[in-house]
């Protein structure tokens, strides 16, 4: 059968002198779109309709082709179709239930596609009649809830979730989907939790359930009381939270695995050889080949869980062996509409295993590690808006984690060390890190590494200012916790200092271009405040006194950047203009850094002149006692009171 024939619902080709034959279900659809009641001459019309295989394409196209006048003419029949679909969900005959679910999908999609500019009330009226909508939706949600929680087939449960996802995603902006008001009133929250808490159902339906919950939570979340937000925030059932974490973990693991497979594939063969011959001129092409479709739906679910439910933080920390799970075919389900959001669930084999084999030789992992690896991949490329939004969501999730006291305690626990292999962007001036050389450290080191990596690799013309702000703020929150709890983290702080100074250098070099779009003084203030925190409170969290020497050395070595920054902000703050106040704040914040530079620079220059040395080495500078302790009295304990510490 040709595609044209399929669309028209034809049974077979016929001669040009005869009308083409149509499927019976198509003929019945045509009766629904006629003015007369289709059951008037055939009392068994609706019973027969749901025994027929649904022709989704034809039904949707008919709904989309109806014009304004025809809508009024056939509205009663459309209302009747919706009503009988809901009634069919209560039938014992599974064929009828399946066909009713698919017909409802076509109804929701077809009516919304045709009436994108119409109000939600008009769409409700066309689908079910406004005066009967409350009862119709109550019946629909009760029957879907019964199917999801009952002992019926897994295929039916899958179709129920697909229908709900279809209903939620028919509008581009979920908050404009007025039908969801009835989904708020007739909650299916408990049914979703039941799916997530059960090992078997989670393995087959967990992905759809988690995505559905994340979407429902976002319905008018800032405009009115959303019952799904309230209920999610108080969930404390351990199996349910673990199940939710398992679904998210497996989805992110699948993404990481696909990326790793593509990376290994591109490391061999002709492309790799050619790249090694001509340097890195083909790095951009390599990145395109390594591109894997990101999964914002599952990221949104992780954000809502971390943001709304403090009990979920414990799920992030639960350790298990790190096992590479090969993708396996997903159990096929009955023909359904395309999965909403353009995402397909990953293989969820691991979810059906309540316990994993314990092997002391295996590297342990957890949801947080998997997320950090995912973020390190997504944050490499932020040039297109899609991946930029994905990177932004990753940083928002990390912000929520850094603000949680329990999460901070776990991140900094020196008794729980992990080897986290973050992905790094290919760059000309550095070699790719070898996995085996990654030390086992507290997880906060991996978070800081990720922030440093982002700072170093995104200084570009299309500057992602909001991502840099979030990145620096995450570092600040982690330092505040270390200061508060006096945690002396053994971390290579010099890499962070160097990255921050280079960021300031970039802002200076591109002042004119960046100021046309961004308030670079706000970012500069946050960066300078990080140095102030190290200078004034470093004695509470830097690992050794030598760390102070390294900090001062780095500041003095790069003093030209700070001098130039001071000149720039002084110039802007003394002139009348848009950025006067913002620049003035940076001027005051630079007091400590300038005190260090003014204290050490003359001594270094004098020593070099006396000993006829053009340039002192780091060791020569460290060997001199130039009064770092007395400098502490010179430095003001200046700190921006508006920043949390």
The predicted-structure confidence for 78-103, as pLDDT tens digits, reads as follows 999 999 999 999 988 899 999 999 99
Query: Binning pLDDT at 50, 70 and 90, where does residue 614 land?
Result: low
pLDDT in tens, 455-484: 999 998 889 999 999 999 999 999 999 999
Q: Regarding predicted confidence, which is higher, 43 or 9?
A: 43
pLDDT in tens, 625-639: 554 544 443 444 444
- Residue 353 pLDDT greater than 70, yes or no: no
pLDDT in tens, 523-572: 999 999 999 999 999 989 999 888 888 898 899 889 999 999 999 999 99
CA 475 and chain centroid, separation: 20
Beta bridge partners of 364: 321
410 φ, ψ to 5°? Answer: -70, -40
Q: Regarding predicted confidence, which is higher, 158 or 93?
A: 158
Query: Binning pLDDT at 50, 70 and 90, where does residue 227 land?
Result: very high
* pTM of the full structure: 0.83
The full set of domains in the chain, from first to last, is: 24-234 (1.25.10)
Q: Where are the alpha helices (DSSP H) in 218-280?
A: 227-233, 238-267, 269-278
Q: Where are the alpha helices (DSSP H) in 115-186?
A: 120-128, 133-149, 154-168, 180-185
pLDDT of the residue at 152: 83
Six-digit token pair at 490? Answer: 């053994």
Strands 320-321 and 364-365, by their bridges, are antiparallel
> What is the H or E stretch that residue 320 is in?
strand 320-321
Six-digit token pair at 574? Answer: 């003394």
Is 460 in contact with 515 (CB distance < 8 Å)? no
> What residues contact 190, with CB distance under 8 A and at least 6 apart?
145, 149
Which residue in the block uniquely carries the two structure tokens 């991140």? 411
Question: What is the sign, positive or negative, of the torsion defined by CA atoms of 466, 472, 476, 482?
Answer: positive
pLDDT of the residue at 68: 66
- Residue 40 pLDDT greater than 60, yes or no: yes
Q: Which long-range contacts (CB under 8 A, 24 or more apart) does 232-241 make?
A: 232/189, 232/304, 232/305, 232/308, 232/309, 233/308, 233/309, 234/309, 235/193, 235/309, 235/311, 236/311, 237/193, 237/197, 239/197, 240/193, 240/196, 240/197, 241/305, 241/309, 241/311, 241/312, 241/314, 241/315
Query: Binning pLDDT at 50, 70 and 90, where does residue 575 land?
Result: confident
* CA–CA separation, 54 and 52 (whole Å): 6
pLDDT of the residue at 430: 59
- Residue 224 pLDDT greater than 60, yes or no: yes
Q: Regarding predicted confidence, which is higher, 443 or 382?
A: 443
Query: Binning pLDDT at 50, 70 and 90, where does residue 600 land?
Result: confident
Percent of the chain with pLDDT over 90: 50
Neighbours of 221 (CB within 10 A): 16
């Amino acid at each position: 059968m040709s595609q044209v024939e399929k669309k028209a619902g034809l049974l077979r080709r016929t001669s040009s002198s005869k009308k083409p034959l149509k499927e019976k279900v198509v003929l019945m659809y045509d009766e629904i779109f006629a003015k007369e009641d289709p059951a008037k001459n055939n009392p068994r019309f609706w019973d027969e309709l749901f025994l027929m295989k649904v022709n989704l394409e034809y039904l949707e196209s008919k709904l989309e082709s109806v014009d304004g006048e025809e809508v009024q003419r056939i509205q009663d029949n459309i209302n009747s179709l919706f009503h009988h679909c809901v009634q069919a969900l209560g039938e014992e005959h599974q064929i009828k239930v399946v066909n009713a679910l698919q017909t409802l999908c076509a109804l929701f999609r077809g009516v919304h596609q045709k009436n994108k500019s119409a109000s939600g009330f008009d769409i409700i009226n066309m689908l079910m009649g406004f005066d009967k909508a409350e009862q119709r939706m109550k019946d629909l949600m009760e029957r879907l809830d019964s199917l999801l929680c009952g002992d019926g087939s897994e295929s039916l449960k899958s179709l129920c979730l697909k229908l709900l996802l279809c209903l939620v995603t028919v509008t581009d902006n979920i908050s404009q989907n007025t039908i969801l008001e009835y989904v708020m009133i007739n909650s299916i929250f408990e049914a979703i939790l039941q799916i997530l808490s059960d090992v078997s159902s989670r393995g087959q339906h967990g992905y759809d359930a988690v995505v559905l919950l994340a979407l429902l939570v976002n319905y008018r979340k800032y405009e009115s009381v959303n019952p799904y937000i309230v209920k999610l925030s108080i969930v404390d059932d351990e199996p349910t939270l673990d199940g939710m974490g398992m679904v998210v973990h497996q989805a992110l693991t699948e993404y990481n695995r696909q990326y790793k497979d593509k990376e290994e594939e591109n490391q061999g063969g002709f492309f790799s050889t050619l790249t090694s011959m001509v340097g890195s001129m083909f790095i951009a092409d390599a990145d395109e080949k390594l591109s894997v479709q990101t999964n914002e739906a599952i990221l949104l679910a992780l954000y809502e869980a971390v943001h709304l439910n403090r009990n979920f933080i414990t799920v992030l920390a639960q350790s298990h062996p790190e096992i590479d799970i090969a993708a396996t075919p997903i159990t096929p389900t009955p023909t359904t509409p395309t999965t909403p959001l353009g995402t397909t669930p990953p293989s969820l084999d691991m979810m059906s295993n309540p316990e994993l084999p314990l092997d002391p030789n295996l590297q342990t992992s957890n949801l947080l590690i998997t997320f950090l690896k995912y973020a390190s991949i997504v944050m490499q490329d932020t040039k297109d808006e899609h991946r930029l939004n994905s990177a932004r969501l990753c940083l928002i999730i990390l912000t929520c984690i850094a603000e949680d006291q329990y999460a901070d305690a776990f991140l900094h626990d020196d008794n729980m060390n992990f080897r986290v292999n973050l992905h790094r962007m290919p760059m000309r001036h550095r070699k790719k890190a070898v996995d085996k050389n990654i030390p086992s450290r507290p997880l906060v080191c991996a978070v800081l590494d990720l922030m440093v990596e982002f700072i170093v690799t995104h200084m570009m013309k299309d500057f992602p200012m909001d991502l840099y702000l979030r990145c620096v703020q995450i570092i600040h929150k982690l330092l505040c916790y270390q200061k508060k709890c006096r945690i002396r983290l053994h971390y290579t702080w010099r890499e962070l200092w160097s990255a921050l100074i280079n960021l300031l250098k970039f802002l200076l070099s591109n002042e004119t271009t960046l100021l046309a779009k961004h308030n670079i003084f706000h970012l500069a203030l946050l960066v300078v405040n990080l140095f102030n925190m190290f200078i004034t409170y470093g004695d509470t969290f830097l690992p050794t006194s030598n760390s102070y020497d390294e900090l001062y050395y780095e500041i003095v070595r790069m003093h030209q950047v700070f001098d130039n920054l001071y000149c720039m902000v002084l110039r802007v703050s003394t002139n009348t203009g848009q950025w006067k106040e913002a620049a003035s704040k940076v001027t005051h914040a630079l007091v400590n850094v300038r005190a260090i530079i003014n204290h050490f620079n003359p001594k270094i220059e004098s020593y070099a002149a006396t000993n006829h040395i053009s340039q002192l080495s780091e060791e020569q500078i460290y060997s001199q006692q130039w009064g770092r302790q007395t400098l502490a009295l010179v430095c003001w304990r200046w700190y921006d009171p508006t920043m949390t510490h």
